[in-house]
Every structure is written in structure tokens, then in C-alpha cells.
Amino acid sequence: MKVGLEIHQQLDTKKLFCECESKLSDNVRFKVKRYLHPVAGESGEYDIATLFEKAKNKYYIYEVTDNSCLVELDEEPPHLVNEEAIKIALDVAESLNMKVIPIIQVMRKTVIDGSNTTGFQRTMLIAIDGYLEIKGKKIRIQSLCLEEDAARKIEETDKYVVYRLDRLGIPLLEITTYPDIDDPELAKKVAERIGLILRLTGKVKRGLGTVRQDLNVSIEGGEKIEIKGVQNLRDIPKIIELEVKRQQDLKKWQEEVKKRGIDGFELVEL
């Protein structure tokens, strides 16, 4: 069994690319209706997932709150990157024994679900190649990124999705470990240690939804499965145990099917 963690933590600062407050708000000032259209990448090709999303022909309604501005609406260029957020990221990188990238560049991740008005998420690689030592075991840290959180989903139907812009742009640290964890309880301890390091900065948000753990779980001969959005650290060991059992059962069934001389499935054209 191998497990890797991805931990996403909101920072308690102003937003990443403007001076708006990073708080959730129910004070909706007005709404904007938009369609998002696919754009070819640098290779000149369209992302298949983007085309699939476009085929749904959904439109998006964005609720503009008192703590959002033209930057979140993509009606104004992003401002200078929040220096306080960068400093916090650098402090965390040092605590995780990481190598800081000499030049921090803003990159774009394609977003296809409408949760960002731009159609992409801005993210910055801050540091790489760190480690933690827990109970004599070295857990390698792959990367630390600083990125903007997505808009908050309020409602979804077959025709449209409603997002609120209060959460869009909140600074978010993403810490990714290598799959060096071989025990469910150790995964919990690694998450606890990283959480402690984050809280010691005194600049992270607390409460439901402010921190999210994704688990990457695999067994020998199996595929890596990502389990997203684990909120409670106490649930991590049980979730990993259940996923490992599920993969082991699938592997047993696969071997049983092969014993019966069935190599695959018949192709049926409809």
C-alpha cells in the first residue's frame, strides 16, 4: 500500500490578486449571467474535457458580493500578488525543509466547471523537494503551491450553475507529498503535522471548508485512486483501509475472471 497526501489550506489574509477581504458573505449586490467557451491551448488543440463540458450547453450565474470586485468578475486585470500570502508560503516551505523556486511565476490551470470566471485557476509553484520526519520515517514533500480558491457553488440544475464570488481569490496553499506513506495511521499523523505547521503561522483560516485533504491510494498491481475532500483527520485511517480493501477485492475478482478463461468483454455495437 502506498499513500500520498494533498493538503489545501486557506490563508487568513486579503485575496490573492486584489485587496478584497477574504471572507464568506451572504450580501449579494447583483448577479451576472455568462457562458464559457473553450479555447485552444498552446499546441492548438482543444482539451477534451473542456469540449465535453461545453456540450452540456450550461450557463453560469455569478453572485457578486460586497467582498468581490472587477478582478473576480474578470473585468479587470489581476493586481500585484499578495505579498503577505507569499511570505506565509515561504515560511511554510522553510518549515518543511523545501527548496524555494528562485523565480515565482503565475501559471494557469484550465478550469472547466465554471467555478472561475476566467476559465482557469492562477497558481504559483513556491517550493519543491522537502521532507518531514515522523517516528523515524522520512516523508518526502513533492511541492508547495500558492493558488486562488474557486468560487462557491450555491445551486446547480440541468441548465445552469450558480456560483458566489466571495470565495473566489482566497489564497490557498497546496502541499503535496510523495507516496511514501505505508500505514493508514501514519497518513493521519503526517496530515496532523502539516496542519500544525500551517497553524503555527497564525495566518490560516479555521473551520469547515477552510482545509481539505485529498488522499492518493494505491496497492501493488493496482491503480492510483484519488479520494478528494476529506474534512476530518480522524476519518483518514478508515477511509484508506476501506479503499485498500476495495482495490484488493477488485484484484481478487480480476484473478478469478482470468481463471475462468475470460480475458475481456465482448464489444457490442449499439
- Tens of pLDDT, residues 179-200: 999 999 999 999 999 999 999 9
* The amino acid at 149: D
Strand 211-218 vs strand 106-110: parallel, antiparallel, or unpaired? unpaired
User: Contacts by 207-213 with C-beta closer than 8 Å and gap 24+?
Assistant: 210/9, 210/10, 211/7, 211/8, 211/9, 211/10, 212/7, 212/8, 213/5, 213/6, 213/7, 213/8
Contacts of 140 (CB under 8 A, 6+ apart): 129, 130, 131, 177, 178, 180
Residue at grid coordinates 467557451: 37
Closest to 116 (Cα-Cα) out of 41, 17, 194, 42: 17
Q: Specify the pLDDT at position 262.
A: 65
Q: Specify the pLDDT at position 263.
A: 62
Range of the domain at 190: 11-201
Among residues of the chain, what percentage have pLDDT more than 70? 97
Contact between 13 and 88 under an 8 Å Cβ cutoff? The reply is: yes
Q: Specify the pLDDT at position 192.
A: 95
Whether this prediction's pTM lies above 0.85 is answered by yes
Q: Determine, yes or no, domain membership for 170.
A: yes
Q: What is the pLDDT of residues 51-98, one digit of tens each?
A: 888 888 899 999 999 999 999 999 999 999 999 999 999 999 999 999
Total number of domains constituting the chain:
1
User: Which contiguous run of DSSP H or E holds residue 29?
Assistant: strand 28-34
Q: Determine, yes or no, domain membership for 96.
A: yes
Q: What is the pLDDT of residues 29-61, one digit of tens each?
A: 999 999 988 888 778 888 888 888 888 889 999
85 or 262: which leads in pLDDT: 85
CA dihedral in degrees (17, 22, 27, 32; nearest 10)? 30
Q: Determine, yes or no, domain membership for 270.
A: no
Contact between 227 and 217 under an 8 Å Cβ cutoff? The reply is: yes
Q: Specify the pLDDT at position 47.
A: 82
Q: Please state, rounded to an integer, the average pLDDT across all residues of the chain.
A: 91
Q: Determine, yes or no, domain membership for 86.
A: yes
Q: Determine, yes or no, domain membership for 237.
A: no
Q: Determine, yes or no, domain membership for 2.
A: no
Q: Determine, yes or no, domain membership for 213.
A: no
Q: What is the pLDDT of residues 102-130, one digit of tens each?
A: 999 999 988 889 999 999 999 999 999 99
Q: Determine, yes or no, domain membership for 87.
A: yes
Dihedral pair phi/psi, residue 177, rounded to 5°: -100, 160
* Arithmetic mean of pLDDT, 233-246: 93
